[in-house]
A and B are shown apart, each in its own frame.
Chain A
Amino acid sequence: MTKEAIIKEFENIAGAENVMTGETDRHAYSYDAAVLDSVMPALVVRPQTSEALGAITKLCNDNGLPLTVRGAGTNLSGGTIPHPGGVVVLTNGLNRILEINEEDMYAVVEPGVVTAQFAAEVAKRGLFYPPDPGSQAVSTLGGNVAENAGGLRGLKYGVTKDYVMGMDFWDVNGELVKSGSRTVKCVTGYNLAGLMVASEGTLGVFDKIILKLVPPAQAAKSMMAVFPSMKAASETVASIIANKIVPATLEMMDNFTIRTVENFRGAGLPVDAAALLLIEVDGHPAQVEDEAAVVERICKENGATELKVAKDAAERDAVWQARRDALPALANLKPTCVLEDATVPRSKIPAMIEALEEIAKKLDLTIGTFGHAGDGNLHPTILTDKRDKAEWERVEKGIDMIFDKALSMGGTLSGEHGIGLAKSKYMAQETSKATLAYARRMKSVLDPKGILNPDKIIGAE
């Protein structure tokens, strides 16, 4: 087909107003939130129906057009940067919550539903959807599933994969594949819905997602503990877990981040502290009281110099505001902000923090570190200016070193941001050549023309 004929086909399927071919429109979908070079797509299409989504997938495959699905474009690993000359399929026209079932505690959604809006709708019905990625105000559920997004509540409540009960998705031929169910238990066939989680758009195009819901905690208590060393803070983390307490949230900030946040907001954070832990326990009111008391004791035993327990909602919000400020405060310091998510086993956090400090010193880089101490998911944030070529080379070297370190400690390349384009080169290092070969064989059968989000995760062959 000629280019004009293909465009006409897209218009027939999705409606002319939903097909964008102009230079400015295409440019606006050439990037995502990752610090990577942008790539112009040939066409952007915004289907409004499930059928259109399937037909578009087939059309792309029939014509060998690379297809990248995009929700809100908040991807931090380049997973939504298109392939040169490819097609971007927007899901934000597919944003209906199809069902929220209170009796059986699940919901059925289209992929373009915004996470925070979904969580709010669920909360209105007295239920709870826990995954809360930092971008939840705009990120979509389809994207969350494709990246297996996490968040602050990962430690106790798990991440997106723990809530995916089932999924309908389009294969490259435009056939609808169904997997999972509305029941808690389901062992019908391969766990294809599970296969789709974290597949970053490389194996199928999500159509409908069935998500598990849980009852919300009845009570919660938040506190902020100040530590004279990172070691003391991370030993506290280990000790809390060893005492069989799993907080809903257990967050850590290093001294550089504390100082930056304090400069940014002036909320009275202890700028001399080497580390801060922000802890929230939740559950039954009696359990919350008990656990809070134990956590308090453990913090003190491990040398916490100060401990503030939030007395009311306003104080609780102040605790979490400090955490929410971490990224914006750091982002304000320098033009380019590389937010990594190297993850290590909890016990290795002190060693990882130490390693990060060494890397920063050795390469003369500014690195602020905060993150989900409870699950070992750290966010070393490198502050730089990409236009400074010499420094940028050191940043790239620094990133390599960070992953080397994390992997040598039995950690992983990504806790919640995905592999995308940014980290595909490290894949064999964490897994094995055989693993990569297995994944590529699988992909080559499911997507023989290689049109589904090429180059992501397993790289270019």
Chain B
Amino acid sequence: MADIHKLAQMFKELDDQLVGCMRCGMCQAVCPIFKLSGKETDVTRGKLALLDGLASEMLTDPEGVNEKLNRCLLCGTCQANCPSGVSVMDIFLKARAIMTGYFGLSPAKKAIFRGLLKNPKLFNALTEMGAKFQGVFTKKVDDMLGSSCARFNAPVIGDRHFNTLASKPFRKIVPELDTPAGSSGLRVAFYVGCVFDKIYPQVAEAILKVLKHHGVGVFMPAGQACCGIPALSSGDTDTFDSLVGINVDQFRKGEFDYLVTGCASCTSTIKELWPHMYKGDTSRTYDIGVMARKTMDISQFLVDILKVEPKELTGGQSVTYHDPCHLKNSMGITAQPRAIIKAAGCDLKEMTDAGTCCGCGGSFNIAHYELSKEIGGRKADNIIASKAKVAATSCPACMLQITDMLSQKGADMSVKHVIELYADSL
């Protein structure tokens, strides 16, 4: 472990970014965690002040700062609303990397990131085995939501209601694809993402169905790895670099006009974080840039490129839409998924605060489940109050969280990705 003076030196590198915060405190109005706790250390201004305090060696408790730093969903709402335009996400990711360099990675994270994520084959094999035996440990709660809970007292699962691993992962259904452009004259690369592969293969199938329907050729290489966001948000830049490397090496084998994903988090990671945060082998830099530029959310691709248009209301099923932070705050994509819901002939019923975080925040959900649940509970209340039959979104992590929250409240509705609604309408 380096000494605290050295740590301060590392944080000084963030000085030019930290100084941009004029401490106006406007982030208090939008932070989901501050809304619950009312504590300055839970809001961005406070966290930036703590980092500044470390950099200027006014503080002697890096462990305390690290703990506060991790009480954040990385939802990016503060950044999207910051009057001074402070790059909060960039600062937080770099700060977490510095902290991880200083404190080391926890043994559990080390096992998961370096042991599993870095080795897609092992990760796949283990989750496959898990899928076979999960019935022993879990029991069904809600058929409509497809949620289950733990049969026995299990520390990590707690009282969560979760979607179990798919009996057949997507890569077993469609291992790889390389089809020529059809009537659209376009060919896209399809980045699947871990959660669709292992938990929601039906969403990945829906994406392929839609692409085929519109005459779009697909390049989908085998051997895809995690996009790296879980590792990066835990400050594990080594694992992040190696995951980006594995993916780029697969995707640069083919030609494509766009790269599409159905996962908001993967989209923003590939588009914004790969080119910005990758520090690995520079021979990949060019391809990373190209991939980032070509990356699009599936709804965005359908609406902006294929010009899919909303239909006149045909009295279809009522759907409410939750904006994933990684689409709304990072990329400003809010209109296209709604257009797709309407294109599917559904009746869009807006909920209150559709654009506020569902409280998942990736590993935040594991480390701070009570907070996560309280934020998610409000989201579920808004979803239920919309009186829609379906809660739709564009991110599998949000789907998991919303399913958990709705299931615990015994809501009579289902959770779907917008692309499933559209695929069903074709």
Contacts and interface: CB of A to CB of B under 8 A. Distances in A.
Interface stretch (A287-295, A315-323, A329-337): A329-337
Contacts of B20: 335
Contact of B22 (A38, A137, A331): A331
A72 B28 contact: yes
Contacts of A29: 40
A31 interface: yes
A301 interface: no
A327 B84 CA distance: 9
Interface string B24-45: 1110110000000011110000
Interface stretch (B57-65, B341-349, B350-358, B412-420): B57-65
Interface string A46-63: 100000000000000000
A332 B23 contact: no
Given A46-B38, A73-B40, A92-B38, A24 B64 contact: yes
A31 B19 CA distance: 14
B22 A90 contact: no
B83 interface: yes
Given A22-B61, A332-B84, A74 B38 contact: no
A138 B82 CA distance: 13
Contact of A25 (B29, B41, B83, B84): B41
Contact of A74 (B19, B25, B58, B65): B25
A73 B41 contact: no
A387 B62 CA distance: 24
Contacts of A331: 22, 24, 83-85
A335 B23 CA distance: 11
B50 A24 contact: yes
Contacts of B23: 31-33
A459 B203 CA distance: 65
A323 to B, nearest CB: 13
B53 A138 contact: no
B4 interface: no
A33 B22 contact: yes
Of A23, A29, A387, most B-chain CB atoms within 10 Å: A23
A24 B65 contact: yes
B58 A137 contact: no
Contacts of A35: 22
B198 to A, nearest CB: 38
B50 A28 contact: yes
Given A74-B24, A92-B38, A138-B25, A23 B83 contact: no
Contacts of B59: 23-24, 27
Contacts of A135: 24-26
B26 A31 contact: no
A106 B29 CA distance: 25
Interface in B58-85: 58-61, 64-65, 67-68, 83-85
Interface of B: 16, 19-20, 22-26, 28-29, 38-41, 46, 49-50, 53, 58-61, 64-65, 67-68, 83-85
Smallest CB-CB A-B distances: 6 pairs = A328-B83, A28-B40, A28-B46, A137-B29, A24-B64, A335-B19
21 contacts: A23-B64, A24-B50, A24-B61, A24-B67, A25-B39, A28-B39, A28-B46, A32-B25, A35-B22, A46-B38, A72-B28, A90-B38, A116-B29, A135-B25, A327-B83, A328-B83, A328-B84, A331-B84, A331-B85, A335-B20, A336-B22
